[in-house]
Structures are given as structure tokens and as C-alpha cells.
């Protein structure tokens, strides 16, 4: 049973924007949601997360000021708005859900359910 489905990836020129969406099972409505990415030949890394009620948001230093995470539990969707994209943002982006209700986190081990990923490619 697929519980997290990402969409919105694609090819964009440097300086452009994309908005990723992740539709999740309703059971994750009060869980932290996170975005991670993995570039070719590199380990998966944290990008951004939002806590269970949207009151706290976290960002990797590399994306601060350019990316914005948000969630709409009425639609069971978390978003990652990505602006001013750079070639180094090229990666597969994964959505993840926290391990427990009322959760928060920024580490991969804080998240127990993962989507299949969506490719983002930024051309120079």
C-alpha cells in the first residue's frame, strides 16, 4: 500500500522554480513531514521538514531563503516550493513521514515512511 506519493519534479533552468507535492495517507495528518534528496553518487540528505501542526519548519543551510515547506492536512499534502534553483539542487527528492503522532524532526532516522521519489534536474 503506497502511503506517500511525490509529484512535481522535472527539468528546469537555473534560477527557475518548481513546486513538489507529496500526497500522504490520512494516518500521517498529525505527523512530521520531511523532504530529503539524493544526488548521483551522494548520500541522501535532509532538505526541509515541517512538524505535525505546521508551527515549526526546518531547512538545510543550502536551501534556506530559497525553499519553503508547507502542509495542508485537509488535502493530505505537503509541499516544497523551490525557487532560485541551482544545478546543485539536481537530485531525486523524497517525501517522508515521521515515526509517531505529534512528531518533529530533521534526521533521516526521525522518519519511518518514505515515498518513491521524484527527479528534479536543474540545467545551467
Predicted confidence at residue 104, as pLDDT, reads 85
pLDDT tens per residue, range 66-96: 999 999 999 999 999 999 999 999 999 999 9
Per-residue pLDDT, averaged over 117-122, amounts to 98
Contact 94, 23 (CB under 8 A): no
pLDDT band at 102; cut points 50, 70, 90: confident
Question: Sign of torsion, CA 2 91 56 103?
Answer: positive
Please give the helix or strand (H or E) that residue 48 lies within, else none.
strand 45-50
Residue with cell string 526541509:
48
Alpha-carbon torsion angle 82, 83, 85, 91, nearest 10: 0
pLDDT tens per residue, range 14-51: 999 999 999 999 999 899 999 999 999 999 999 999 99
How crowded is residue 118: how many other Cβ atoms within 10 Å of its Cβ?
22
Predicted confidence at residue 19, as pLDDT, reads 98
Amino acid at each position: 500500500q503506497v502511503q506517500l506519493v511525490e509529484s512535481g519534479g522535472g527539468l528546469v533552468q537555473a534560477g527557475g522554480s518548481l513546486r513538489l507535492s507529496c500526497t500522504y495517507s490520512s494516518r500521517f495528518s498529525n505527523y512530521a513531514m520531511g523532504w530529503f534528496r539524493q544526488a548521483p553518487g551522494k548520500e541522501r540528505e535532509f532538505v526541509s521538514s515541517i512538524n505535525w501542526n505546521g508551527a515549526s519548519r526546518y531547512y538545510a543551510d543550502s536551501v534556506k531563503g530559497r525553499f519553503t515547506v508547507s502542509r495542508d492536512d485537509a488535502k493530505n499534502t505537503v509541499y516544497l516550493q523551490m525557487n532560485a534553483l541551482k544545478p546543485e539542487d539536481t537530485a531525486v527528492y523524497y517525501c517522508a513521514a515521521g515515526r509517531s503522532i505529534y512528531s518533529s524532526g530533521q534526521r533521516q532516522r526521525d522518519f519511518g515512511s518514505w515515498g518513491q521519489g521524484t527527479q528534479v534536474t536543474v540545467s545551467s
